[in-house]
Amino acid sequence: MNANDIPSAPTNFIRNLIDAERAAGSSSEIITRFPPEPNGYLHIGHAKSICLNFGLAAAYGGRCHLRMDDTNPEKESVEYAEAIKEAVRWLGFDWGEHLYYASDYYERLYLWAEELIRRGRAYVDSLSAEEMRAYRGTLTEPGRESPDRDRPAAESLDLLRRMRAGEFPDGAYTLRARIDMAAPNMNLRDPVIYRIQRHHHYRTGDAWCIYPMYDYAHPLSDAIEGITHSICTLEFEDHRPLYDWFLEQLADLLPARPRQIEFARLNLSYTLMSKRRLLELVREGHVSGWDDPRMPTLVGLRRRGFPPAAIRAFCERIGVGKSDSWIDMSVLEDCVREELNVAAPRALAVFNPLKVVLTDYPVEGVEEFEAANHPQRPEAGSRRVPFCRELYIERDDFMEDPPKKFFRLAPGREVRLRFGYIIRCEEVIKDPATGEIVELRCTHDPATLGANPADGRKVKGTIHWVSARHAQPAEVRLYDRLFTQPNPGAGREGRDWRADLNPESCRVREALVEPGLMQAAAGSQVQLERIGYFFVDPVDSRPGRPVFNRVVTLRDSWAKVDGGGD
């Protein structure tokens, strides 16, 4: 798939529902929104929501708004809001001119709150938070009505205005919806609409000391923007009656009547997604920051080298449903492999070097082999890789006493060097003190460069190599899953997610790479043949001194090269 080619959303229950609405005669434009709270960085779970909302809008020729759901000033910041915009753009989506902030609606939301009081649908309450909890009842017992519930509207109005004017300390009063303290759905037991909270807001500054609650601000913000389908995760299903209640009470004043639809959130194994946990990972130094390549944040995945097209393909593959489930991390990794298999140019590097000396090759001799940058895409061009008498191969590609099916190098056996000759192992040199193999003496068959042996003998294995004289050392960071358990912290009683951190999630090593790779640009991707996909770290790389992040390993790291595949 072309990196810029955003696939249209696959069919799902929401599309079926929209199709049914259309079949029943609705002709309204489809307007969705992605409403993050700017209190942290977006993660892969948010990507599911982004792809769904923007994807639906694209599929129906409508539009998708980006709305900062910023009604909780304590944890929100400009830094987060900017990072959110950047991440949505990076994923490949464009909100055009439709960037909105719930905080821009504060005045309207406030005036509607006054209106609810006038209509007998809200009242100012003086119960403390603790009292309110006690009055709320339980799932099996109805709640009790607050003594302030029948406060005259004029008095509530006066109090609300004075709350806004800053006459009362935090927590002294709240504004509550007047619904039903006996409702089986606890969300309908006179929920709080406004609370007094003196906190500087990153956009409205100190203009307000009362802030609306999410359940109030959200449906009205949707209505203001003319959202037709307000898509959220399943935990809001029980809030839908409240969502509809606010829209109903103010229906005559609102420009639109949005509909809330819930879908199952993404749960991904071997990682954590709650923003609180992600913040703890950062604050406690388990990772280097929000953009640590092991983080499930979009900035982290980006720095790791996950292409946005792979994340979109993943969101498409997992689909959109109504029941909570877990997706295995390998599904995401496979999407990354599929994308990089097509996109990433190939190069040679050796991670665990064993020296090979070609005894029949001229001491000063140097050749350059033509090496295709991609086995299936000739348009990716080729490069020249230097070759000489002394090489490095992977230690794993040699066995002194191999089983029959070992098709790589062994005493007396032949193997092909990628892009080069067939060589044969003649002698194994060991360190006399330790017995460790330190060098292989080999001979090469000069007639086999780019050709099969004339005598028809079969050589099954192909291995990668670098020229000892030309190879350069480069830093490689072998990233792995952040946790050793699929559901970190779950299972055993009292187990903390920290105990499941993978101590091997980042191993820093040095590799010997073909010389051309030292010029690899920050942010470029490469498949190191037979090893894995790598990404030149955009933060720590310097010109001429790249740092290679491992994106993912190859599925089947050595069997495939002969087939010319990945």
Task: Name the residue among 543, 542, 552, 548 with its Cα closest to residue 349.
Answer: 548
**Of the residues 178, 275, 294, 389, which is catalytic?**
275
From residue 149, alpha-carbon distances to 65, 130, 177, 181, 249 in Å are: 37, 17, 10, 10, 18
Residue 336 C-beta: closest distance to ligand ATP, Å: 19
Closer residue to ligand ATP (CB): 45 or 293: 45
Does an H or E element contain 86, and which?
A: helix 78-91
Q: For strand 414-417 and strand 346-347, is the pairing parallel, antiparallel, or unpaired?
A: unpaired
Residue 206 C-beta: closest distance to ligand ATP, Å: 24
275 is catalytic: yes
Q: Give the Cα separation of 479 and 269 in Å (integer).
A: 16
Task: Name the residue among 549, 525, 522 with its Cα closest to residue 538.
Answer: 522
Closer residue to ligand ATP (CB): 274 or 325: 274
426 is catalytic: no
Binding site for ligand ATP (CB under 6 A): 35-37, 45-46, 48-49, 69, 232-233, 265-266, 273-275
DSSP conformation class of 517: G
**Of the residues 265, 277, 441, 555, which is catalytic?**
265
Closer residue to ligand ATP (CB): 37 or 537: 37
Residue in the block written with tokens 């996950």: 306
**What would the DSSP string read from start to end of 42-56?**
-BHHHHHHHHHHHHH
- In whole angstroms, how large is the CA radius of gyration of the chain? 31
Closer residue to ligand ATP (CB): 72 or 549: 72
**Which residues, in sequence order, are CB contacts of 128 under 8 Å at separation 6+?**
171
Residue 273 C-beta: closest distance to ligand ATP, Å: 5
Closer residue to ligand ATP (CB): 44 or 561: 44
**Of the residues 15, 33, 37, 550, which is catalytic?**
37
Tokens coding 565: 């595949």
Task: Name the residue among 198, 278, 286, 183 with its Cα closest to residue 239.
Answer: 183
Closer residue to ligand ATP (CB): 233 or 288: 233
Closer residue to ligand ATP (CB): 45 or 420: 45
Residue in the block written with tokens 């619904």: 179
Residue 266 C-beta: closest distance to ligand ATP, Å: 4
CB 534 within 8 Å of CB 509 = no
Residue 243 C-beta: closest distance to ligand ATP, Å: 13
Q: Count CB neighbours of 256 within 10 A.
A: 14
DSSP conformation class of 516: G
Q: Which long-range contacts (CB under 8 A, 24 or more apart) does 188-191 make?
A: 188/241, 188/242, 188/245, 189/136, 189/137, 189/143, 190/125, 190/143, 190/145, 190/146, 190/149, 191/215, 191/216, 191/242
Q: Count CB neighbours of 316 within 10 A.
A: 19
304 is catalytic: no
From residue 477, alpha-carbon distances to 307, 352, 505, 534 in Å are: 18, 14, 10, 9
Closer residue to ligand ATP (CB): 36 or 293: 36
Closer residue to ligand ATP (CB): 42 or 442: 42
Q: Residue number with the shortest CB distance to ligand ATP?
A: 45
Residue 65 C-beta: closest distance to ligand ATP, Å: 12
φ/ψ of residue 115, rounded to 5 = -65, -40
Task: Name the residue among 337, 361, 320 with its Cα closest to residue 51.
Answer: 320
Catalytic residue numbers read 37, 265, 275
